[in-house]
Amino acid sequence: MSLNIKNEDVHAAVRELASALGVSQTSAVEVAVRAKLAELAEDSQRLERRRRIDDAIRAAQEAFRGVDLWAIADDLYDEMGLPK
């Protein structure tokens, strides 16, 4: 397998990374690609978690629509805010 990169700036960046890591240029490319793939996977997981949270918030809002939560709190707590 071969990868032919014709961009000198990319070559320079790969050489710099390889030197900083003390590895071959091939290993430096592997490290960089795997790091970016891991970052993308984390972003995807973060977005999915955010979607689930938003769904749960919407469901809770719908479940409590029309419910007077202050009236419920009045039944649970006294005027000092302590449990009855």
16-53: pLDDT as tens digits: 999 999 999 999 999 999 999 999 999 999 999 999 99
Does the model's pTM come out above 0.85? no
Residue 53's identity, in one-letter code, is: I
Distance CA 44, CA 36 (A): 12
10 sits in which H/E element: helix 8-21
Of 1 and 8, the one with more pLDDT: 8
- Extents of the domains making up the chain: 8-76
Q: Which of 63, 60, 67 is nearest to 75 (CA)?
A: 67
Q: Give dist(CA 19, CA 42) in Å, integer.
A: 27
